[in-house]
């Protein structure tokens, strides 16, 4: 129990984050009750508690900074809420969830709001085009980052503890049943994080507006299929030619744009933090 708990706190330390006991349990790579997790944390020399949140004793945790980051996460979510509602209003978006730092409840002043979108079959690149349009043309949209768009027919993801924790943190906005199928279609999730469970769906405000004039054309049966082929072909070529990350996937049925090697950087930083914590 101690080593899995140390690993969770090291992961949180990458983001200058501290966790409640329940959050530690959710991200723990070992089956445990809440009381067992609390007992382990109290017994661990590497762990300390500050105002109800646990972190590594070797990593500083600033309460004022954390409060500001929590305020920013809520403010950013309020800012982009109407844009998210506008995107979610399309039937081509079968499911959508917030991921990343905002899903965890914290964000930096200039932080994005990361999105996972599950599109209707054959609509991945059209849905991405709609999200990018809203990002650049609607007030507040500049914060949204649709870095993962999946076709509902293929929601299988590459197994990793990093991916499992991203799924555990996400907050559904639409299509919770589809997101449940995403989890069930990746059984390694519950193997890696046996205590994790689906979080509650966030309520969305009224949409910021209607769809752009070209969206009905993109959704029409004949022109829509042509638009999907055209958009996917040109965007995949463009994105692959500019990509420098091994963590990206650009294909007809998915767009996973982790261009900044996020997982690798987190894993490397965690390894360093764990080494420092064990000294």
SS3 12: helix
Sheet of 93-99, strands arranged across = 171-174, 93-99, 113-119, 144-151, 254-256, 249-251
Q: What pTM was computed for the model?
A: 0.93
Domain residue limits, the chain: 2-63+266-278, 82-255
Contact between 64 and 143 under an 8 Å Cβ cutoff? The reply is no
User: For residue 83, what are the contacts with CB-CB under 8 A and spacing of at least 6?
Assistant: 134, 135, 138, 139, 140, 141, 144, 208
CA pair distance 132, 208, nearest whole angstrom: 15
Rg (CA), the chain: 20
Contact between 147 and 114 under an 8 Å Cβ cutoff? The reply is yes
Task: Tell which residue, 163, 211, 208, has the closest CA to residue 190.
Answer: 163
Question: So what's the pLDDT on residue 177?
Answer: 96
At the top level of CATH, the class of 2-63+266-278 is mainly alpha
Contact between 152 and 94 under an 8 Å Cβ cutoff? The reply is yes
Q: Which residue has the tokens 């978006």?
A: 93
User: For residue 272, what are the contacts with CB-CB under 8 A and spacing of at least 6?
Assistant: none
pLDDT in tens, the chain (279 residues): 889 998 999 999 888 889 999 999 999 999 999 999 999 999 999 999 999 999 999 887 888 999 999 999 999 999 999 999 999 999 999 999 999 899 999 999 988 999 999 999 999 999 999 999 999 999 989 999 999 999 999 999 999 998 999 999 999 999 999 999 999 999 999 999 999 998 999 999 999 999 999 999 999 999 999 999 999 999 999 999 987 778 889 999 999 986 565 677 777 777 777 777 665
Tokens of 223: 């022109």
CA pair distance 135, 114, nearest whole angstrom: 12
Question: So what's the pLDDT on residue 246?
Answer: 80
Stated as kind and residue range, the H or E segment containing 106 is none
Instruction: Name the burial class of residue 258, with classes exposed (0-12), middle (13-18) and buried (19+) by CB atoms within 10 angstroms of its CB.
Output: middle
């Amino acid at each position: 129990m101690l080593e899995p708990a140390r690993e969770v706190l090291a992961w949180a330390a990458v983001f200058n984050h501290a966790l409640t006991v329940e959050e530690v349990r959710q991200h723990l790579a070992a089956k445990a009750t809440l009381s067992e997790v609390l007992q382990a944390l109290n017994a661990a020399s590497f762990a300390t508690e500050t105002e109800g949140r646990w972190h590594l004793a070797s990593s500083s945790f600033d309460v004022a900074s954390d409060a500001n980051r929590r305020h920013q996460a809520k403010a950013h979510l309020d800012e982009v809420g109407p844009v998210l509602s506008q995107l979610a209003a399309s039937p081509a978006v079968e499911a959508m969830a917030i991921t990343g730092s905002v899903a965890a409840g914290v964000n930096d002043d200039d932080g994005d709001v990361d999105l996972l979108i599950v599109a209707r079959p054959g609509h991945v690149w059209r849905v991405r085009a709609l999200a990018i349009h809203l990002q650049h043309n609607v007030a507040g949209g500049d914060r949204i980052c649709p870095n993962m768009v999946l076709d509902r027919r293929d929601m299988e993801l590459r197994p990793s503890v990093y991916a499992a924790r991203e799924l555990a943190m996400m907050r559904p906005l639409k299509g919770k049943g589809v997101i449940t199928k995403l989890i069930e279609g990746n059984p390694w999730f519950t193997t890696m994080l046996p205590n994790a469970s689906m979080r509650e769906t966030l309520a969305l405000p009224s949409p910021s507006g209607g769809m752009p004039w070209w969206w009905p054309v993109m959704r029409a049966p004949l022109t829509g299929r042509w638009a999907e082929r055209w958009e996917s072909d040109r965007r995949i070529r463009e994105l692959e030619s500019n990509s420098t990350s091994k963590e990206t996937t650009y294909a007809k049925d998915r767009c996973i744009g982790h261009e900044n090697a996020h997982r690798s950087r987190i894993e490397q930083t965690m390894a360093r933090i764990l080494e420092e914590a064990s000294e």
